[in-house]
Amino acid sequence: MEQCIRSKQGMYLFWLLCLPKALCISIYYSSPEETNSGSKVANVLKDLKLEEQEFIDRRAHLISESTKQYFSLDIHTGDILINDKVDRDILCSQTDPCILTSQIVLDNPLESYNIEIVIEDINDNAPKFSKNEFEIKIPENIPTNMALPLESADDKDLGENSIQNYTLSTNEYFWLHVQRNKDGINNVDLVLKRSLDREKVPHLNITLMAVDGGVPQNTGTVQINIDILDINDNPPQFSQSEYKVKIKENLPTGTVVAKVEATDLDLGLNAQVTYSFHRTPERINSLFLLNERSGEITLRGQIDYEKERSYSINIRATDGGGLSGHCKILIEVEDVNDNAPEVSILSLTSSLKEDSALEKVVALFSLKDQDSGDNSKMVCSIEMNLPFVLKATTNNFYQLVLQSPLDRERVSEYNITITAIDWGSPRLTSTRLINVQISDVNDNPPLFEKSSYDMQIRENNIPGFLIGSVHALDLDTMLNAKVTYLVLPGKGDGLVTPYISVNSETGNMYALRSLDYEQIRGFSITVRASDGGSPSLSSEVIVRIHIIDENDNAPFFLYPLQNNTSPCNELLPKSAEAGYLITKVVAVDADSGQN
């Protein structure tokens, strides 16, 4: 039968019936955990009612029931000392009470005393969460008042030293609901108090604190990182509803002309934007290429300001969830000086009489440049030193006007180059060549090559003999230059005109009859050259004909007179001496010169 005695020091004594002839007593002590080595737990002498010497003589010693000797016994003083620090939380965990049992054994007589030391908990452990951070992912459309369970903290201490409360850092979206279950464990929930919008607040960082009841009070915290998961509740939005772009014509293909950009406040696939043309005609697709990922618009065809000066393109941005946004891009094409002026001849007098009046309009033409602005402004000119001048009228019309007299015999045609230059940069030039023929007017009489002609013919010629020719040149053309020849009757040496004729076309002169030098030795005639103009112009020249003598006459004796029947007789005196003049013989010859 066991008896329990409580000492004045709060020690419990139990008298037990143990081994035969051995008295067993259980004595209870308490000691806070983590007490330093060498610290005194209790003195057993007084509790065992023994003197120091008796304690020594009976060879008291302490036997621990655990493998590790946490306590030691001072045999001289009877003090139980801390041999090694005791960590109640490791030794007993959540078991309460935490008791270490030892025995004090005495000899002569043999006695055994159970020593049970209660290790008291101190607040040496702060509440601790399993992780430094908790990661929570929730969709942005969860309803308010929805509870999100959280992991509780752990505190190795017991009782008041364990976790007593939880607190949550200040935030707009969540409040903390703590409820102790029947097992005494706190269930901690995050409760949503207002709607979430990931596009405004994509992340929340909240601190959860666990507080124990010890003195001093210990706390443990954990960072709760809340990722707000996206739902596709936002369509793509362009930075501008309308883009305006200016580009120059004739840019090479592949040139980036514009870039549109749409953003989607959602995430992931819901924020993945692709671009496309929307309700655009085929000609837009043939001219422009839209990169569906980057939104860059590049040229794929030739832009010509003269064909189309602006383009309006609708663009659609679509996210991965099927929502879309729209914008418009206005592309204005700027002119480049890529068109040279065009010269269009409206009327032309290609053949102009040389006696045309001054200020006569020879040609009418217009200038046109398909460019615009300064690129379409033009100046026009022709070469200098021409008998023509340009006169501007209205709306880029020009007249080519005769400004000085013409002379076909000096210049029979004009090749006139009309040069048109625009004001663009660089300046472009075009030319147009027109040919103006100067038609003849009969303003030139035939002119003989010589001021007079001298021709020779031997007498006794045969009729029709070519004596020579005359030639007159007329600077006019066609009929105005066609020369005919005529021997003028009544001009020259009297009645000799019938002796000579002239070919009216060639100017060859012929003897109409045989001429006799002894009858006429020479004569002059007048030849007229006339052109075919109307009225006809003419000129005259004198042709002198010289007849050359032929030895066609025998000498004829004038004395003595000779006849065919009797000879000529002369008397000679007998006394005539040498050198005596008998008679004179006189003979004549109708020819001349050596003849």
- pLDDT for 566 equals 66
pLDDT in tens, 314-362: 999 999 989 999 999 999 999 999 999 999 999 999 999 999 999 999 9
Domain match, 205 and 267 both: no
Position 385 pLDDT exceeds 80: yes
- pLDDT for 249 equals 93
Determine which of 115-119, 270-274, 471-475, 520-524 has the lowest per-residue pLDDT on average.
115-119
> Which of 439, 465, 482 is where one domain is finished?
439
Domain-located, residue 325: yes
**Residue 595 banded pLDDT, cuts 50, 70, 90:** low
Domain-located, residue 9: no
Max mean pLDDT range (74-88, 174-188, 457-471): 457-471
Which runs of consecutive H residues, i.e. helices, occur in 191-311?
282-287
Domain match, 541 and 468 both: yes
- pLDDT for 8 equals 30
Query: What secondary structure does DSSP assign to 507-543, as a single string?
Result: -EEEESS---TTT--EEEEEEEEE-SSSS--EEEEEE
SS3 316: strand
- State the chain's mean pLDDT as an integer: 86
Domain match, 433 and 467 both: no
Does the global pTM surpass 0.85? Answer: no
Position 6 pLDDT exceeds 70: no
pLDDT in tens, 198-222: 888 999 999 999 988 888 888 899 9
Higher model confidence: residue 173 or residue 216? Answer: 173
Domain match, 170 and 107 both: no
- pLDDT for 13 equals 37
pLDDT in tens, 389-405: 999 998 899 999 999 99
Give the per-residue SS3 of 54-65.
HHHHCCCEEEEC
Structural domain boundaries enclosing 141: 133-229
Domain match, 279 and 249 both: yes
Q: Measured between alpha carbons, how far is 71 from 62 in angstroms, rounded to an integer? A: 8
Mean pLDDT of 153-166: 82
Domain match, 346 and 330 both: no
Domain-located, residue 587: no
- pLDDT for 275 equals 96
H/E element, 48: helix 44-48
Domain-located, residue 585: no
Domain match, 195 and 246 both: no
Between strands 472-473 and 447-448, the pairing is: antiparallel
Q: Measured between alpha carbons, how far is 241 from 243 in angstroms, rounded to an integer? A: 7
Domain match, 283 and 223 both: no
Domain match, 144 and 72 both: no
Domain match, 186 and 262 both: no
**Residue 11 banded pLDDT, cuts 50, 70, 90:** very low
Domain-located, residue 508: yes
420 Cβ partners below 8 Å, 6+ apart? Answer: 340, 341, 342, 343, 367, 378, 379, 380, 429, 430, 431, 432
For 301, phi then psi, to 5°, come to -135, -175
Q: Which position has the token pair 């005769």?
A: 402
Domain-located, residue 218: yes
Residue 375 near residue 347, CB atoms below 8 Å: no
First-to-last C-alpha distance (Å) of the chain: 215
Task: Give the start-end residues of each E strand in 472-515.
Answer: 472-473, 484-492, 500-502, 508-511
Domain-located, residue 247: yes
Determine which of 19-23, 407-411, 416-420 has the lowest per-residue pLDDT on average.
19-23
Number of domains the chain contains: 5
Domain-located, residue 259: yes
- pLDDT for 365 equals 95
- Report the CATH number at residue 80: 2.60.40.60
Domain match, 309 and 346 both: no
Higher model confidence: residue 15 or residue 476? Answer: 476
What's the number of CA atoms in the CB half-sphere (13 Å) around residue 161? Answer: 14
- pLDDT for 452 equals 94
Sign of the alpha-carbon torsion through 43, 46, 52, 55? negative
> Which of 229, 249, 284 is where one domain is finished?
229
- pLDDT for 485 equals 95
Between strands 79-82 and 71-74, the pairing is: antiparallel
Q: Which amino acid does the sequence have at 533?
A: G
- pLDDT for 457 equals 93
Domain match, 241 and 182 both: no
Which residues, listed in sequence order, are joined to residue 15 by a DSSP beta bridge?
Answer: 3, 25
Query: What secondary structure does DSSP assign to 558-573, as a single string?
Result: EES---SSS-------
pLDDT in tens, 525-578: 999 999 999 999 999 999 999 999 888 777 777 777 766 566 777 777 878 788
- pLDDT for 208 equals 93
> Which of 95, 120, 145 is where one domain is finished?
120
Share of the chain above pLDDT 70, in %: 92
Position 238 pLDDT exceeds 90: yes
- pLDDT for 19 equals 41
Residue 500 near residue 525, CB atoms below 8 Å: yes
